[in-house]
Structure 1
């Protein structure tokens, strides 16, 4: 089974998001969410810098592929995401998906990415991105297995 790590800045603060993420994580035993602490700085640039340093500490140890969620990334259909995940799975490659904090990610984190992807052309709260990403990972899994979740 392919290991997928979702690396997130900050903890979820809303119970409805926590509950939604828990539902999908229960259906995706090979997916792990790892949270790094959000910066406490009041300065947005300092927040991005602090959080990016923390992300790099984790990413340095990752041996697999790294995809970063970013508004500058390429949008994928659910089918295209499933196909890309299936190709990684078939090669036995682990995947780390990175979700930045409230003010995004540094250029250095983007440059570390093997791929930049966007969940939407719209700007979304980073906490909501986690839930949407987990749903899309579940949808991809059902597409790859050929079960009836995706219409």
Structure 2
């Protein structure tokens, strides 16, 4: 299985880079995992709609069309627990596809065109969070989902 987590990068934080390395190594124990930073265009704060469109177009152009596209989107399905998230992801992983791309959007979300192309949209939380925190949370929850699926002693009920 090929698994990717794509995110729009505006800046780098040393603490996040270290955490990314830790979780990338952990996730590579389950699948061929790749963390992909996409350069977010510099647009003025007043250009939210345009920024969302440009970022979404960047993501659409990078897709091959052969992967299952899963968006982390604050206005999407909210799992009630990590176990529920794991079960949902396992149902995706056990399907016919062998390549999965998870995407964390920019500050202004995804375009309608990208949302329509997604196979699944997941909200990480009801809370609004910094882009870097969302990346770390997504990485940890992906690792937790695999750990639950494979019966590893990581998740506690």
Match of 1:87 among 68, 88, 91: 91
Equivalent residue of 1:102, what SS?
coil
Aligned pairs (5 A) from 1:95-134: 95-134=100-139
Distance 1:107 1:98 in 2: 15
Moved more, 38-47 or 136-145: 38-47
Alignment RMSD (CA, Å): 1.5
- Shift of residue 66, structure 1, vs aligned partner: 1.0
Instruction: In structure 1, list runs of 5 or more residues that go unmatched.
Output: none
Q: Is the 8 A contact 1:86 1:144 kept in 2?
A: yes
Distance 2:72 2:134 in 1: 9
Distance 1:137 1:109 in 2: 22
Distance 2:142 2:121 in 1: 16
1:63 — aligned with what?
66
- Shift of residue 11, structure 1, vs aligned partner: 5.3
Instruction: In structure 2, list runs of 5 or more residues that go unmatched.
Output: none
2:147 — aligned with what?
142
Moved more, 128-137 or 5-14: 5-14
1:17 — aligned with what?
16
2:38 — aligned with what?
36
Distance 1:115 1:135 in 2: 19
Aligned length: 149
Give CA-to-partner distance per residue, 1:31-59, whole Å, 9 cap, x none.
Answer: 21112110111122222121111111012
Query: Would you identify which runs of 4 or more consecutive aligned residues in structure 1 move more than 3 Å?
Result: none
Q: Is the 8 A contact 1:8 1:98 kept in 2?
A: yes
Give CA-to-partner distance per residue, 1:62-102, whole Å, 9 cap, x none.
Answer: 31211111111111121122122222332352211111112
Question: So what's the TM-score if we normalise by structure 2?
Answer: 0.87
Question: So what's the TM-score if we normalise by structure 1?
Answer: 0.90
2:5 — aligned with what?
6
Q: Is the 8 A contact 1:12 1:18 kept in 2?
A: no
